[in-house]
Amino acid sequence: MQTLTATPVTDVRPAVHGEGPTWDATRQELVWVDIDAGQVRRATVSPLGVVAEVGVHHGGATVGFVVPAADGGWLLGADGGVTHLDPDGGSRVLVALDREGGTAPDGTRMNDGAVDPVGRLFGGTMAFDERTGAGSLYRVDLDGSVHTVLTDLTISNGIEWTADGRTVFLADSGPATVRAYDYDVETGSFGASRVVVDLSDDDAGAPDGIAIDDEDHLWVAVWGGGQVRRYSPAGELLAVVRVPTENTSSCAFAGPGLDHLVISTSTQGLSDEAKAAQPDAGRLFVVRPGVTGRPAGVYRGPVDALRQV
Ligand code: BGC
Ligand code: CA
């Protein structure tokens, strides 16, 4: 097994709850979020992996994910719905999701999201109190219709597809698993599933954000474990990236060569003592993993016609 160590990005201010880095290939920028600050953060990544911040935008009270949209802006999983962010930083709510059959607040928020190989957006939710079964996974189709794909999740987390689009991986930090589902790229529907990563008996922590490399292997951020792990599609552990702060939240291939792995971290839940012992908590980290990956999928549906069906 390979062991690597990630380096902190000390020139970029740390986040409170850093999450969801992804490479916007059109702009050649890294976008990521600070969930608890409600911010989208943008950075360049040089060929040598030097990260420099170029913009910070407010997207809502909480922002769980950011993905590029074909209109040149971004879609955010913000609060309990989907928000559009313009390149000049203006934001507007596109749809607020109704849950559990009503409009009453159910104490949930958007968490991780990503775009499938043809441009559909997927976003998952979790309860602020992390209660079991309160999370769902939603899909925004290419006509703007919003569908519920899965219910009874707990902390819906990283989601990525294999290169052929026939398998989708979804992490749920509640049961501490990553499942592989058969995926129908024609319809966006999920089929039979199996567990490929199970950390429920592992003291290391829970799977959070994920990335997929050009060999269709998974890079799984282990929340609570200060690690990103590489697994084969069959679930064999092949490499560990050590990160010197415990809440490793997500990762993405970034940079012009897509050959750097950028890792987000979070201060969420750390005591004052833990924060003092982990001064880089909340920072981005970078490592060269020796393999390349893919940029973010781009949402290709309309931005002004989102409606829940
Ligand atoms: C959430 C955190 C949660 C963590 C657990 C993250 O995606 O944003 O609030 O504690 O997952 O794995
Ligand atoms: Ca996450």
Catalytic residue, candidates 112, 172, 208, 213 = 208
Task: Give the 3-state secondary structure of residue 277.
Answer: helix
Domains within the chain, CATH numbers bracketed: 2-308 (2.120.10.30)
44: β partners: 52
The answer on pLDDT for 132 being more than 60 is yes
**154 ligand 1 Cβ < 6 A:** no
Q: Residue 294 has which token pair?
A: 């893919």
Question: Pick the residue with more confidence: 98 or 134?
Answer: 134
**221 ligand 1 Cβ < 6 A:** no
- Is 208 catalytic? The answer is yes
Dihedral of CA 140/143/148/149: which sign?
negative
Separation between Cα atoms, residue 248 and residue 258, nearest integer Å = 20
**110 ligand 1 Cβ < 6 A:** no
* The pLDDT of residue 104: 47
Q: How far is CA 204 from CA 4, 72, 106, 286, in A?
A: 17, 39, 30, 21
Cα of 208 from ligand 1 centre, angstroms: 7
Per-residue pLDDT band at 130 (split at 50, 70, 90)? very high
The answer on pLDDT for 83 being more than 50 is yes
pTM value is: 0.97
- The residues, any chain, with a CB within 8 Å of residue 215's CB and separated by 6 or more, are 291
pLDDT digit string, tens, across residues 178-205: 999 999 999 999 999 999 999 999 888 9
pLDDT digit string, tens, across residues 35-64: 999 999 999 999 999 999 999 999 999 999
pLDDT digit string, tens, across residues 94-120: 999 877 655 545 799 999 999 999 999
Q: What percent of the chain has pLDDT over 70?
A: 98
pLDDT digit string, tens, across residues 12-41: 999 999 999 999 999 999 999 999 999 999
Separation between Cα atoms, residue 122 and residue 116, nearest integer Å = 7
**111 ligand 1 Cβ < 6 A:** yes
The answer on pLDDT for 232 being more than 70 is yes
Per-residue pLDDT band at 255 (split at 50, 70, 90)? very high
Q: Residue 99 has which token pair?
A: 């849950």
99: β partners: 102
Dihedral of CA 161/264/125/204: which sign?
positive
Summarize the confidence of residues 264-291 as an average pLDDT. 98
| DSSP letter (8 states) at residue 101 | T
* The pLDDT of residue 78: 97
Cα of 38 from ligand 2 centre, angstroms: 14
Summarize the confidence of residues 159-177 as an average pLDDT. 98
| DSSP letter (8 states) at residue 36 | T
Ligand 1 pocket test: pick from 63, 266, 267 the residue with the most ligand atoms within 8 Å of its Cβ: 266
**134 ligand 1 Cβ < 6 A:** no
Q: Which ligand is nearest to the CA of 209?
A: 2
* Chain mean pLDDT for the chain: 96
Separation between Cα atoms, residue 260 and residue 91, nearest integer Å = 30
The answer on pLDDT for 69 being more than 60 is yes
Ligand 1 pocket test: pick from 109, 111, 263 the residue with the most ligand atoms within 8 Å of its Cβ: 111
